[in-house]
Structure 1
Amino acid sequence: MLVPRLRVVQLVNGIALNTKMGGAERFGVELARHFDQARIEPVVAALWEWDREHEQVWRNRLAIEGVTTVIGPPKRERQAFKNFLESIVSLGRQLEKPVDVIHSQCDFGDVAALLLARQLSVKLLVRTAHNELEWAKRPWRRWIFVNSIYPLVYDMELGVSQRVVDTLNQRPMARWLHKKALVSYNAIDVARFTNGIPDTSQFIREKLNIPPTAPVIGSVGRLTKQKGYHHFLEAAAIVSATIPSAKFLLVGSGEEEANLKRMAQDLQLQNHVIFAGAQAHVEPFLSIMDVFVSSSLWEGLPTVILEALLVGVPVVGTAVSGTEELVKGSEIGCLVEPGNPRALALGILAMLSHPPDAAARRRAKDFIKHQFSITSISSQMEQLYLRLLRQKDNGGVI
């Protein structure tokens, strides 16, 4: 007897990956790509259109791989609430029902899933918290949705690190309902970094005008306040006073870009700091770094640290959620206090003075391959969906 496939929708902000979007969106897309399509009919639903040309490349790629994509209206900063409602209406019209599972990977997606559930006859609602501080800019939404409503209506809540899960499980409503969130780590496509990638480090250095012997301290991410890049620049000023040849590479774009460029000028770092902009492929840029820096003020579990460790680049990171677990587990890096540029600079100088040896780098790579491969995580997620659906069908408590 032929068993029908489960229709599983990964709900994300957008699919302009590595340009407008971050690790949460990449994770949702990679999950959909790696599901067993004998059992799962994967769909990626993006709330908004952010970069049509870049998104079309991903839509074409996903279509070839058997993943359906639907995208809502263009993202507008003005009339944001109306724009959000337009997205709900658009996705509701495009998504084929019934939907077995909606799995949200973002703050707005968490709310959208609730509004779409009845219309699409959704059987199972799942969400992943990608940050220990959800709705950071609008804490009242965190109090209403995360702390009060979600424990009541979501069948399962997941967190990308133990600290995120601990935060979820401490909510009074969740404790009263005996609802337990589970750890489900972010993951990456290991093949992107291991399947015969050509060595382009010399080309990238020449392109960025970095001398062959200059140490490169870098970071990859959205240029937002959360990432703490103003502390990164303050640390760069301290490090460059000790190592004048050092170069500091920032790969990414975002709302703080202009402010950070002005700050670099004010700190007289214009000959030291390189703003490389958003890049569709970050692997070549990671490969030229001697130290990767994560200066975030809060996090979930940064996928870019997974990528840096998989390339064998040691990490100096702030002791925030997720970063702490990864750096301790990998053994090639150090942790410093968030918001402390001097501590960040001392960590960078220590890592440059005493870099990990080849054996330590191999162990770090193996740690990432074994614990954070999207192949194994997607299989675990499939099993979770099936188990939860069986429990609901049998009238059991999830």
Structure 2
Amino acid sequence: MNYETQLVGDPAVVIGDDESRRGRKRLLIGGGIAVILVAVAAWISMRGGPAAAPSATAQVPVVTVVSPGQSTVARTVSATGSLAARVDMPVGVIGEGGMVTRVLVQPGDWVRAGQVLATVERSVQTEQIRSLAAQLEVQRANAKLAQAQLDRAKALVGRGFISAADIDQRTATRDQAEAQVRVAAAQLAEQQARTGRLDIRAPAAGLVLTRTVEPGQIVQAGGGGVLFRMAKDGEMEMQAQVAEADLATLRANNGATITPIGSKAQFAGRVWQVSPVVDPQTRQGIARIAVPYNPAIRPGGFASAMITSGSGSAPLLPESAVQNDAKGSYVYIVNAKNQVERRDVTVGQVSDAGVAVTGGITGTEKIVTSAGAFLAPGQKVKPELMKAG
């Protein structure tokens, strides 16, 4: 029989293999039980001990609520559309046309009514004016001579040298000569007017928007196209596309705020015309909003508008009270049982004063002002009323 020799206290004590194995087994079992007991003790400690029983009711969160009542708020209509000159004036050739010799303005220039924008070559017309002016002088000389002959004849008629018939003849000659003077003067004035129309002039005071002509270009009356475009007095407008239902609420002189796309600047405007027709395809009409001149208002650009169409009564809530999800806008209200309920709402004008709610609530409810994202329908809460402000 094999023995394992081990010194424990007395060197003479010898422990066999079987007894050694049993000792180690008991040691392992005891250690495992101890570990389990420690784990159980720790779990009980974290749970508050065996004497700590769960509370009868969970902790109820306190939420701030408001009963906003009804406030006077502006009714507004949102729209988008393009910017344009309020009175867009195309400028072209009204004379005979010809080769452009000078262009005197650039886009962005302000011009007065009648100011020359460009000139057309006029050498032939200038010579025609000189010819007609000379013919006028000839006719004036003839009229002067006819008048002198008539005056001499009248001096001799009393002495019997000139008959009454001769006086009549000389009077007719004088009248004819004076008529020829008037004809020549009219022809000269006509040619001068024609020549003057070779100058391309501004039809009214305003802002030059575009220029499509250069020196050396040949232009023709009626076929030269638009050489310049102007905005009369620099006045601009937004042609807002408005839904059919909203169009019925708009009137001339309604105020509006215009925001050009890509800009944070806002400009005050006023509706000056509401379209009497609606596009049958888009079911939209145009509200034309007049805007004073500003370099940021560029015709052809795009803008959004907020048009004030009147005022009415509606609950006014803080922005934090209104939540949004895939179903739309909603608020949480606290019912008589102090439970949270979801209420879908329709949102109107948003301003510094708050969010106007045009549908879904009456304003008498207790509406959660904040922390709505952490609540759930049916949850028990403790409401704390706050005055609407």
TM-score (norm 1): 0.21
Bigger RCO (CA 8 Å, 6+ sep):
2
- Larger of the two Rg values belongs to structure: 2
TM-score (norm 2): 0.22
Higher helix proportion (structure 1 or 2): 1
Higher strand proportion (structure 1 or 2): 2
